[in-house]
Amino acid sequence: MKIACVQLDIAFGNPKENFENVERKIREAAKQEAKLIILPEMWNTGYDLTRLEEIADKEGNDTKKLLTKLAKELHIHIIGGSVSTKKDSHFYNTMYIVNDSGDIITEYDKAHLFKLMDEHMYLKAGNEKNLFEIENITMAGVICYDLRFPEWFRAHSLLGAKVIFVPAQWPAARIDHWKILLQARAIENQCYIVAVNRVGDDPNNQFNGNSMVIAPWGEIVWLGNEEETNGLVDIDLNLVEEVRGRIPVFQDRRESLYK
Active site (catalytic) residues: 41, 110, 144
CA angle, residues 14, 20, 21, in degrees to nearest 5: 90
226-231 contact pairs (CB < 8 A, 24+): 226/199, 227/7, 227/199, 228/7, 228/8, 228/9, 228/25, 228/199, 229/7, 230/4, 230/5, 230/6, 230/7, 230/25, 230/28, 230/29, 230/32, 230/34, 231/4, 231/5, 231/7
